[in-house]
Amino acid sequence: MPSAILRSRGRITIPAQVRSSLGLKPGDRVHFFEISEGQFAIVAAIHSVQSLKGMIRKLRVPVSVEDMNAAIAAEGSHTR
């Protein structure tokens, strides 16, 4: 299991095996997520939000604001 040493200024070097597995390169950003008390997951944040473009297809028929508001109101009345 890869490990690292915490330096006096709070810095660590991410082991090469972990960097390789996450596809990290110099300058990449990582996020830490607490998965339970005292345990964190490290996730590579190497994709920009622009990489999401095109994942959701456009609607064939535009929806009006009034229709959206009506749908929200209808859904809200069912959950109470």
pLDDT digits (tens, 9 = 90+) for 41-67: 998 887 767 767 777 777 788 889 999
Q: Does the global pTM surpass 0.75?
A: no
Q: How confident is the model at residue 20 (pLDDT cuts 50, 70, 90)?
A: very high
CA dist., res. 20 & res. 49, Å (int):
22
Query: In this predicted structure, what is the pLDDT of residue 34?
Result: 93
**DSSP assignment string, 10-59:** S--PPPHHHHHHHT--TT--EEEEEEETTEEEEEE--S-GGGGTTSSPPP
